[in-house]
Chain A
Amino acid sequence: MSLCLAGARVIDPATNTDKRTNVYIDGGRILKFGRPPQGFTPDETIDLRGQILTPGFIELAAHLREPGFEYKATIASESKAAAAGGFTSVCCTPDTLPVIDNASVVEHIKQRARGARAARVLCLGALTHGLEGNVLAEMYALKESGCVAVTNADHAIRDTAVLRHALAYAASNDLAVFLHPVEYWLSHDGKMHEGAVSTRLGIPGIPEAEEIIAVNRDLTLVEETGVRAHFCRLSSARSIGLIARARRAGLRVTADVALSNLLFTDRNIGSFDPNFHLRPPLREARDRTRLRSSIRKREVDAICGNHEPHDADSKATPFSLSAPGVSSFDTFLPALLSLVEQGAFDLNTAIAAVSQAPAEILGLSAGTLAPGAPADICVFDPAQQWTVSNNNLVSAGKNTPFLHQTLDGKVTLTVIDGRIVYNTNG
């Protein structure tokens, strides 16, 4: 079907576009924007005046919980939540049960995602068998079955020799590796950032040194093996400096930060609020300031929601026993807009960091509204206010620190491959 999306402010960082115009779609692709193509009559025209139209958001880490943890969420529930949050593609992390370390799990996930008819699901394969950090995963088979990258998620590989071999093997298969800079021995006991707040609460801390050591180690191995590497969820100011220095020295690596780490600090944990139990941990105000400026200065490429839906019991427990993570799809856009509102970075930079940048990291042709690109589009009303409640969260995971808060900004239309998958416009 063909579409005309009319009258919105169109922001497409990849083509340096920011203007009020119409976008024309046919055959699942962007035809063009601006004046209508000659002889083009859309099947449907949607009036989007007063709203903002951007490339669909791309999530670099979505814990879809299926197979294995369907009591938390399913591919169907979360790909629908993703679409309602403006995401057109989401990367499914390999920490399912069984782990995404063989082609049959990839096939299963792809089949379930097709059935859901919502956001596109891309698989991240495991770097090691069972994410156990001992035996390399079947990376060739994972790549053949369609995995867009391999990663050990945040399961730290203790044996540096295994990590080195895994990166070399991934490089041989021309697979990108998503690296979570985690040093096992300094982090496995910890439940939050080590600092004044962890000391006050008596919660075992994760020192900043943990991430610094891991970033240094991983940069060294990336340089040596020549693997295409993406650094995930940097949380400390010093890590940003290390990545920036390596890039200035010519090393081609990319990086992302989690939206939560841009929004909050360890002080938000207050009196043991498990909704702020995150991995990597929320660090200090100076870290947050540096993470924000890294997006502004493009030292870090992408912003990641790190969507981790949980069942209620996983959070209804003392802080240290609670499962880490936030369910982020539903509140991602208003939270991102709040950072723009606070002056952390401008809107176009924010949009680039959640569409163009992740597309480039993943090697996708999406992430732009250039003619011929897949018609993956997000439209939102930046002024629409809504109050977050258990009832209006689409995700099965209700674990969000925004519960009962009133937020500004709501996605109203999501188009994937030219098909409307979510629409609240008249």
Chain B
Amino acid sequence: MKQQLDDQGRLKHFLTIENLSRALLVEVLDSAERFAPVGERAVKNVPLLRGKTVANLFFEPSTRTRTTFELAAKRLSADIINLNIAASATSKGESLSDTLRTLEAMQCDMFVVRHQNSGAATFIASQVAPHISVINAGDGRYAHPTQAMLDMFTIRRAKQRFDGLVVAIVGDIAHSRVARSEIQALNTLGVAEVRVVGPKTLIPNKIEAFGAKVFNRIESGIAGADVVIMLRLQQERMNSALLPSAQEYFQAYGLTERRLKLAANDAIVMHPGPINRGIEIDSAVADGPQSVILSQVTHGIAVRMAVMSLVMGTQATTGAN
């Protein structure tokens, strides 16, 4: 994926973690570290993207991701417009290319894209005028790179390192763009082992080729892990040919206090949200001392500020003070 880099090898779009260098990922994390204090100040903005217009293009509904992108853009002093484009509007009438032409005519500088189809952000980046940057806010099952980076940020803050870490990702790996981007980021940043944990119906074919070790039981999957990432189980997977019921899923794969004891003593528990309490995670764990779930949300804003300023070519260093 050379497409997201410019001639100097700097980020032009942020579409996927695939093929990004370790140095570049560290640059995003370091930049986010400099943006993090902005949110703690009384005046929570910096003028980095003043005069720029960001369009949130959400072809798939989302509240949390859209809101954090909106906050990130506002803290960078950009103007932001939210467009919730129902899937039917593009599939029936206007083609996606026509929608993009229309938005370009509104003189936007950046598109933040969420779409139900894998590769949609890549496609959009291939179609837009050269001055426009595209950030992938989640496309199909392919990638959710800003979520992966905020998770890396959270891990680095908690553990101060990546080398030697064992990270277990538990749940519906097959349908998860978060898992794909996380596996790539963790391997690029040099953790010791990435594990994917779930029943065979939720583990995609040949995931081993992707740099992940497969476990079908949660007990062995999280044993000794330094980081346990629980994925949200989507409603449509329950009571289907993939899983018999939510109750059985919780019995077999739910993260309880008892099971968490199998992980390292200082293991952290993460979840991209929104949480299904009692389905993938017990409340006692979600609200417990090892949970960093709410920090992930806070970190999401700083990481998205970092990515937005990087793709727009503005100096992140001026963000600190």
Which A residues fall within an 8 A CB radius of B?
Answer: 194-196, 198-205, 207, 271-272, 313, 316-321
B169-206 residues with Cβ-Cβ distance < 8 A to A are 177, 180, 204-206
Given contacts A202-B140, A271-B3, A313-B95, A207 and B205 within 8 Å (CB-CB) = yes
Extra inter-chain contacts (18) besides given A203-B140, A318-B123, A321-B117, CB under 8 Å: A195-B206, A199-B205, A199-B206, A199-B209, A200-B18, A200-B180, A200-B210, A201-B142, A202-B141, A203-B141, A204-B141, A205-B204, A207-B205, A272-B123, A316-B96, A317-B95, A318-B118, A320-B118
Contacts of B141 in A (CB 8 A): 202-204
A-contact 0/1 string along B99-139, CB 8 Å cutoff: 00000000000000001011110110001000000000001
- CA of A156 to CA of B270 in the docked complex: distance in angstroms? 43
Tell whether, in the assembled complex, residue B118 and residue A199 are in contact, meaning their CB atoms are under 8 Å apart.
no
Given contacts A318-B119, A320-B119, A320-B140, A198 and B205 within 8 Å (CB-CB) = yes
- CA of A84 to CA of B189 in the docked complex: distance in angstroms? 54
Given contacts A207-B205, A271-B1, A318-B123, A202 and B118 within 8 Å (CB-CB) = yes
- CA of A316 to CA of B90 in the docked complex: distance in angstroms? 13
Tell whether, in the assembled complex, residue A316 and residue B117 are in contact, meaning their CB atoms are under 8 Å apart.
no
Tell whether, in the assembled complex, residue B204 and residue A199 are in contact, meaning their CB atoms are under 8 Å apart.
yes
- CA of A313 to CA of B101 in the docked complex: distance in angstroms? 14
Tell whether, in the assembled complex, residue A317 and residue B96 are in contact, meaning their CB atoms are under 8 Å apart.
yes
Contacts of A319 in B (CB 8 A): 117-119, 123
- CA of A316 to CA of B91 in the docked complex: distance in angstroms? 13
A-B contact pairs, 15 of them (CB 8 A): A198-B204, A199-B204, A202-B140, A203-B118, A203-B141, A204-B141, A205-B204, A272-B123, A313-B95, A316-B127, A317-B97, A318-B117, A318-B120, A318-B122, A320-B117
Contacts of B210 in A (CB 8 A): 196, 199-200
A-contact 0/1 string along B71-115, CB 8 Å cutoff: 000000000000000000001000111000000000000000001
B54 close to chain A: CB less than 8 A: no
Nearest CB in chain B to that of A194: its residue: B205
B165 close to chain A: CB less than 8 A: no
Tell whether, in the assembled complex, residue B177 and residue A202 are in contact, meaning their CB atoms are under 8 Å apart.
yes
B252 close to chain A: CB less than 8 A: no
In the assembled complex, the CB of B171 is this many whole angstroms from the nearest CB of chain A, namely 15
In the assembled complex, the CB of A333 is this many whole angstroms from the nearest CB of chain B, namely 30
Interface centre among A194, A196, A199, A203 (most CB of B within 10 A): A199
Contacts of A318 in B (CB 8 A): 96, 115, 117-120, 122-123, 139-140
Shortest Cβ-Cβ A-B pairs, 3 listed: A202-B141, A272-B119, A202-B142
Given contacts A271-B1, A317-B95, A317-B96, A203 and B119 within 8 Å (CB-CB) = yes
B223 close to chain A: CB less than 8 A: no
Given contacts A194-B205, A198-B205, A271-B1, A316 and B140 within 8 Å (CB-CB) = no
B207 close to chain A: CB less than 8 A: yes
- CA of A101 to CA of B207 in the docked complex: distance in angstroms? 44
Given contacts A196-B210, A271-B3, A321-B117, A205 and B122 within 8 Å (CB-CB) = no
Nearest CB in chain A to that of B120: its residue: A318
In the assembled complex, the CB of B304 is this many whole angstroms from the nearest CB of chain A, namely 21
Given contacts A313-B97, A317-B96, A199 and B207 within 8 Å (CB-CB) = yes
In the assembled complex, the CB of A183 is this many whole angstroms from the nearest CB of chain B, namely 15
Contacts of A205 in B (CB 8 A): 204-205
- CA of A195 to CA of B206 in the docked complex: distance in angstroms? 6
B268 close to chain A: CB less than 8 A: no
In the assembled complex, the CB of A129 is this many whole angstroms from the nearest CB of chain B, namely 27
In the assembled complex, the CB of A381 is this many whole angstroms from the nearest CB of chain B, namely 36
Contacts of A320 in B (CB 8 A): 117-119, 140
Nearest CB in chain B to that of A191: its residue: B118
- CA of A302 to CA of B143 in the docked complex: distance in angstroms? 40
In the assembled complex, the CB of A412 is this many whole angstroms from the nearest CB of chain B, namely 36
For A196, give its contact among B97, B139, B142, B206 (CB under 8 Å). B206
In the assembled complex, the CB of B92 is this many whole angstroms from the nearest CB of chain A, namely 12
In the assembled complex, the CB of A393 is this many whole angstroms from the nearest CB of chain B, namely 21
Tell whether, in the assembled complex, residue A201 and residue B119 are in contact, meaning their CB atoms are under 8 Å apart.
yes
Contacts of A200 in B (CB 8 A): 18, 180, 209-210
Nearest CB in chain A to that of B177: its residue: A202
Contacts of B97 in A (CB 8 A): 313, 316-317
In the assembled complex, the CB of B142 is this many whole angstroms from the nearest CB of chain A, namely 4
Tell whether, in the assembled complex, residue A202 and residue B123 are in contact, meaning their CB atoms are under 8 Å apart.
no
- CA of A313 to CA of B91 in the docked complex: distance in angstroms? 11
In the assembled complex, the CB of A158 is this many whole angstroms from the nearest CB of chain B, namely 16
In the assembled complex, the CB of A203 is this many whole angstroms from the nearest CB of chain B, namely 5
For B95, give its contact among A204, A271, A316 (CB under 8 Å). A316
Contacts of A207 in B (CB 8 A): 205
- CA of A321 to CA of B118 in the docked complex: distance in angstroms? 10
- CA of A130 to CA of B142 in the docked complex: distance in angstroms? 35
Tell whether, in the assembled complex, residue B123 and residue A317 are in contact, meaning their CB atoms are under 8 Å apart.
yes
Contacts of B119 in A (CB 8 A): 201, 203, 271-272, 318-320
